[in-house]
Structure 1
Amino acid sequence: MNVLIADDHDLVRDTLAVFLGAENEINVETVEDLDQACKLIEERGSFDLVLLDYTMPGMNGLDGLHKAIALNDGNPVAIMSGTASRVVAQEALDAGAVGFLPKTLPAKSLVNAVRFMAAGETYVPVKFMTTEEEEEVNPIAEKLSSREMQVLGGLCQGLANKEIARELDLQEVTIKLHVKTLCNKLEAKNRTHAAMIAKEAGLF
């Protein structure tokens, strides 16, 4: 079974790869963003399962999901996230994702979920979809739109507005506006302070 993991956070990506790679029948490839994922699929052919981080560079909400599904030749594509709400999870499923994996999922459950989805079945944790929203969503994430979360992720990586704009395919002036808005929402003094708040809250 060939699995592709696309996530811009090294620790998350490497941890998932170790969990899955420990299973003899699972071969894992990892990349850092959507563009790399799409390029690898085009070069290597479709994977048995593709796992996409919802907030990594290039995703642009669920647009990235649609791109990956189109490239993966009918094989399953799933979304994973540490911050997305069950509403986003449902939207992803409705858009064609074969599953949604919270990053808090235990290792054993993760491996079982991967096998399940690679077999063409839909997987999403029942507890995640039935627990009250307030208990699942990070308080910081709840204040921000999905686009503001993407911009905040860029700030946490130390990227300049121009670099974030390039990754999200937006104008630099738009990024400046998002930075100002999210700083106001987080009551942050500046972009560095906003990144600190996000990291202290465990968002990135």
Structure 2
Amino acid sequence: MPCILIADDHDLVRDTIAAYLETVDGFTVMTASNFDAALGSMKGINAVDLLILDYNMPGMNGLEGLERARKSHPAIKVVLMSGVANKDVAQTAMSMGADGFIPKRLAAKSMVNAINFVLAGERYFPVDFAEPEQAAAPSANFADLTEREMQTLEQLCIGLSNKDIARNLGVQEVTVKLHVKNLLAKLNVSNRTQAAILAKEQHLF
């Protein structure tokens, strides 16, 4: 059962997110109200799989906290969360090794999807925070996808790798890569995580 640590100094935000995630089957949730408490929990007896770290919080200087968390506990996935950080901050966080960036305005179900993708080894970055040439609104028309591309997309939605998808579909891994490339282009998204989230938000699977 994955253990998620939410570090945020705003009690309402922290407790609301924690309460919601605790309703999701398969999650164990811990909380911390400052950065030092978060570091203490990360080296505690309970193994933490994912740290959701608020960008503005006592004990850390913005992205400095992300850097410290990554260096002190490299095996723990770290997602930066913020209600004020702009696109540049988000992109810098990703370049510094963050496993994802979650805006606080993100819908609850989308946040759960993002967390699941990160836990599955993907990186989450919201479509509307992408570079301008990548930020066009994703197409919700899945009718252009072939049957095999839809099957591939369904496998992406549960976080499987190309190798696992190839084994499940009985095809070569290079074929899966081609299917993924084609469906990303047809859905007008830049990566497999965005494609899977789009599919989940459209309740396809």
Q: TM > 0.5 between the two?
A: yes
2:18 aligns with 17
Give the number of the structure whose alpha-carbon radius of gyration is greater: 2
Q: Is the 8 A contact 1:100 1:123 kept in 2?
A: yes
1:64 aligns with 65
1:190 aligns with none
Aligned letter for 2:49? D
* Structure 1, unpaired ranges of 5+: 132-204
Aligned letter for 1:120? G
Aligned letter for 1:49? L
Deviations 1:119-178 (A, max 9, x none): 2210011023357xxxxxxxxxxxxxxxxxxxxxxxxxxxxxxxxxxxxxxxxxxxxxxx
Superposed displacement of residue 100, structure 1: 0.3
- 2:39 partner SS: helix
Deviations 1:11-47 (A, max 9, x none): 1101111221111200000010110000111123541
2:119 aligns with 118
- Please state which structure has a larger fraction of its residues in helix: 1
Aligned letter for 2:23? A
Cα distance in 1, alignment partners of residues 63 and 106 from structure 2: 21
Matched, 1:98 2:99: yes
Distance 1:111 1:26, change over 3 A: same
Determine what percentage of the aligned residue pairs are the same residue: 48
Deviations 1:47-83 (A, max 9, x none): 1110000001112121111121123342210100000
Matched, 1:85 2:86: yes
Q: 4+ runs of 1 displaced by more than 6 Å? A: none
Q: Is the 8 A contact 2:90 2:129 kept in 1?
A: no
Aligned letter for 1:107? A
TM-score by length of 1: 0.61
Aligned letter for 1:60? N
* Structure 2, unpaired ranges of 5+: 133-205
